[in-house]
């Protein structure tokens, strides 16, 4: 007899589990039967094996190249408990200070940031490790997902602002030093590095020496090609790059290095089967053909650091300018089909759009454009969907809501504003603007720990600051003079 169980979808592939059992016939010798107790024990032991669904990775910023923020990972949110915290001695150092306090000309207050893509150390999670880059100490780290202990560290030469991408045991990253890199995800060793534009001069930016072409898009990988852009100022050229993901070289079909004028690429690139979508901060995103980097057009509406693709390849981007909104655009002709007032972030799954607004979190029917539910929430910053729950990051707390009803299922405390959420391998990770990474896992009621969760605080590595030489010359008046040969290879503070 053959019994086939239904297929379970785990986000990667469908699996059908089949049990084969042959009944004895008269020609087959009968063997002693097992005691019913042992039969029951064997069956109970097999149940978890038959019905267990493989855990899912979170290998890229907001899970995938669509930046969907959606995973099939399904936790028992009501039993989540904090199991460890990793704490940086310094908070995140964003590239931009945030929005203006008000628009004096238009008389508008409460402006939203359109370049808020790095307020926390955004992380990814693959197998038994989590990975993240730091804008505070320029380091990429791998932590043990179970304990939060550091497995390896790699130092770049400038801040790392976008989450890495993990593909087939390789970690892809970009940093403000203008270099895209591929590391061994197991050891942190460099496999290749590529700089699209040689450094002509270094400039002082946010207390760091960087070139005119930092890589603030991260590195996006599709197939065997890695995509990234080097850009900073609209009056300087930018470079959109597609390189071989194994070698780091712009060689072969679909590989290129495009010089582009009047662009400011910043924020994680998005990729579909045919297109690249490049956020530009204060300016609306641009769409390029993925095969050759040809510009296909720009989107209407305002700019913003939130950009995502829906399953049917519509583009949602915002929060625009002034009072803020999210614009919905068609990929094929760049026309606007909807504007979501006061929205700042979204998740789309099936027929429902979940969004953060000024007043809280709500669910909207995509076809009828009718609100399904609304939950008041003060100061929400990000949201993701896992299984049947919506997870929301706020100030000093995170919550889980029932995706169908909006009911509150769970609330957990964090240190600071939770701008980043990740759901992978049975854990929820929250990253905050104060440099904290919190790990929550479902814990059985009887196993609730009486001890406080472990906290690892990175010891600050300080170099002795050299005394400043006193110049007697009256030719120097309130200004710095740097000698390039003296600066070479040294840190300036």
What does the pLDDT average to over 374-381? 92
Task: Give the model's confidence band at 9: pLDDT under 50 very low, under 70 low, under 90 confident, else very high.
Answer: very low
| Rounded Cα gap, residues 84 and 3, in angstroms | 43
Verify cis geometry, omega within 30 degrees of 0, for the bond prior to 319: yes
Those residues whose C-beta lies under 8 Å from the C-beta of residue 214, and which sit 6 or more positions away, are: 158, 175, 176, 177, 178, 205, 230, 231, 232
* Residue 226: CA count within 13 A, CB half-sphere: 28
From residue 15, give the alpha-carbon distance in Å to each of 10, 69, 70, 296.
8, 24, 20, 39
**pLDDT for the residue 463:** 54
**pLDDT for the residue 325:** 84
- DSSP-derived letter for residue 368 is T
For the stretch 328-360, pLDDT in tens is 888 888 888 888 888 889 999 999 999 999 889
**pLDDT for the residue 248:** 98
Query: Residue 300 pLDDT more than 70?
Result: yes
Least confident of 100-114, 256-270, 478-492: 478-492
**pLDDT for the residue 25:** 38
For the stretch 456-469, pLDDT in tens is 655 555 455 555 56
| Rounded Cα gap, residues 433 and 445, in angstroms | 31
Those residues whose C-beta lies under 8 Å from the C-beta of residue 362, and which sit 6 or more positions away, are: 354, 355, 371, 372, 373, 374, 375, 406
**pLDDT for the residue 97:** 83
Least confident of 179-183, 199-203, 257-261, 284-288: 199-203
| Rounded Cα gap, residues 159 and 170, in angstroms | 20
Query: Residue 15 pLDDT more than 60?
Result: no
Strand order in the sheet with 170-174: 165-167, 170-174, 180-184, 190-194
Residue 6 phi, psi dihedral angles, 5° rounding: -60, 160
Least confident of 13-27, 170-184, 282-296: 13-27
From residue 296, give the alpha-carbon distance in Å to each of 172, 253, 376.
26, 19, 40
**pLDDT for the residue 446:** 47
For the stretch 417-441, pLDDT in tens is 999 999 999 999 999 999 999 999 9
Smallest CA-to-CA distance from 120 within 415, 335, 353, 339 is with 415
Strands 427-432 and 270-271: unpaired
Smallest CA-to-CA distance from 116 within 277, 295, 324, 262 is with 324
Smallest CA-to-CA distance from 230 within 252, 246, 253, 213 is with 213
**pLDDT for the residue 221:** 98
Smallest CA-to-CA distance from 162 within 205, 239, 220 is with 220
Q: Could you name the CATH architecture of 61-457?
A: 7 Propeller (2.130)
Q: Taking the domains of the chain in order of start, what are their residue ranges?
A: 2-51, 61-457
Task: Give the model's confidence band at 305: pLDDT under 50 very low, under 70 low, under 90 confident, else very high.
Answer: confident
Query: Residue 42 pLDDT more than 80?
Result: no
Q: Answer whether 138's CB lies under 8 Å from 159's CB.
A: yes
Smallest CA-to-CA distance from 269 within 95, 429, 60, 126 is with 60
Q: In the chain, count of helices (H) and strands (E)?
A: 2, 40
15 beta partners:
8
The percent of residues in the chain predicted with pLDDT above 70, rounded, is 76
| Rounded Cα gap, residues 283 and 226, in angstroms | 24
Residue of 207 and 159 predicted with greater confidence:
159
For the chain, the average pLDDT equals 83
**pLDDT for the residue 47:** 39
For the stretch 223-271, pLDDT in tens is 999 999 999 999 999 999 999 999 999 999 999 999 999 999 999 999 9
**pLDDT for the residue 51:** 32
Those residues whose C-beta lies under 8 Å from the C-beta of residue 36, and which sit 6 or more positions away, are: none
Query: Residue 90 pLDDT more than 90?
Result: yes
> E strands of 40-111, at which residues?
70-71, 80-87, 102-103, 108-109
Please work out, in degrees rounded to the nearest 5, the angle formed at the alpha carbon of residue 73 by the alpha carbons of 68 and 74. Answer: 120
**pLDDT for the residue 458:** 54
| Rounded Cα gap, residues 101 and 428, in angstroms | 33
| Rounded Cα gap, residues 136 and 91, in angstroms | 7
**pLDDT for the residue 378:** 87
Smallest CA-to-CA distance from 117 within 139, 95, 148, 137 is with 95
For the stretch 157-178, pLDDT in tens is 999 999 999 999 999 999 999 9
Strands 80-87 and 454-457: parallel
**pLDDT for the residue 482:** 56
- DSSP-derived letter for residue 49 is H
* pTM greater than 0.85: no
Query: Residue 138 pLDDT more than 50?
Result: yes
Q: Answer whether 390's CB lies under 8 Å from 401's CB.
A: yes
Q: In the numeric block, which tokens belong to residue 162?
A: 């976008």
The percent of residues in the chain predicted with pLDDT above 90, rounded, is 62
Name the residue with tokens 């910043």: 266
Q: In the numeric block, which tokens belong to residue 213?
A: 């072409």
What does the pLDDT average to over 87-100? 88
**pLDDT for the residue 171:** 99
Sign of CA dihedral 244, 250, 251, 254: positive
Residue of 342 and 28 predicted with greater confidence:
342
């Amino acid at each position: 007899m053959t019994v086939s169980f239904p297929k379970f979808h785990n986000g990667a592939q469908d699996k059908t589990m089949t049990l084969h059992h042959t009944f004895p016939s008269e020609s087959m010798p009968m063997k002693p039967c097992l005691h019913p107790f042992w039969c029951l024990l064997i069956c109970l032991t097999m149940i978890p094996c038959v019905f267990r669904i493989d855990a899912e990775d979170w290998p890229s910023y907001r899970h995938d190249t669509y930046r969907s923020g959606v995973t099939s990972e399904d936790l028992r949110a009501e039993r989540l408990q904090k199991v460890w915290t990793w704490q940086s001695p310094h908070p995140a150092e964003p590239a931009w200070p945030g929005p203006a306090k008000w628009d004096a000309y238009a008389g508008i207050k409460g402006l939203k940031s359109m370049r808020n893509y790095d307020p926390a150390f955004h992380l990814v999670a693959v197998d038994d490790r989590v990975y993240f880059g730091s804008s505070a100490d320029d380091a990429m780290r791998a932590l043990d997902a179970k304990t939060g202990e550091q497995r390896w560290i790699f130092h770049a030469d400038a801040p790392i602002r976008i989450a890495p991408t993990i593909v087939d045991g390789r970690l892809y990253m970009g940093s403000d030093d203008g270099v895209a890199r591929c590391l061994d995800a197991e050891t942190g060793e460099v496999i290749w590095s590529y700089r699209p534009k040689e450094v002509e001069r270094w400039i002082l930016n946010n207390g760091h020496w960087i070139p005119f072409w930092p890589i603030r898009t991260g590195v996006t990988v599709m197939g065997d090609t890695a995509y990234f852009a080097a850009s900073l100022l609209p009056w300087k050229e930018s470079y959109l790059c597609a390189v071989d993901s194994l070698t780091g070289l712009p060689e072969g079909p679909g590989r290129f290095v495009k010089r582009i004028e009047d662009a400011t690429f910043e924020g994680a690139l998005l990729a579909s089967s045919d297109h690249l979508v490049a956020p530009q901060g204060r300016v609306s995103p641009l769409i390029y053909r993925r095969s050759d980097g040809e510009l296909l057009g720009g989107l209407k509406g305002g700019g913003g650091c939130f950009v995502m693709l829906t399953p049917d390849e519509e583009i949602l981007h915002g929060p625009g300018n002034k009072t803020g909104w999210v614009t919905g655009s068609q990929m094929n002709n760049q026309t606007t089909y909807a504007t979501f007032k006061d929205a700042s972030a979204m998740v789309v799954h099936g027929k429902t759009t979940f969004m953060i607004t000024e007043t809280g979190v709500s669910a909207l029917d995509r076809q009828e454009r009718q609100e399904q539910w609304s939950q008041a929430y003060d100061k929400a910053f990000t949201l993701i969907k896992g299984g049947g729950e919506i997870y929301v990051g706020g100030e000093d707390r995170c919550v889980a809501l029932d995706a169908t009803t909006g009911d509150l299922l769970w609330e957990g405390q964090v240190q600071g504003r939770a701008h980043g959420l990740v759901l992978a391998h049975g854990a929820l990770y929250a990253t905050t603007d104060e440099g904290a990474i919190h790990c929550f896992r479902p814990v059985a009621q009887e196993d609730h720990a009486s001890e406080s969760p472990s906290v690892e605080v990175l010891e600050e590595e300080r170099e002795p600051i050299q005394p400043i030489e006193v110049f007697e010359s009256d030719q120097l008046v309130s200004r710095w003079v740097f000698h390039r040969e003296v600066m070479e290879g040294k840190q300036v503070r």
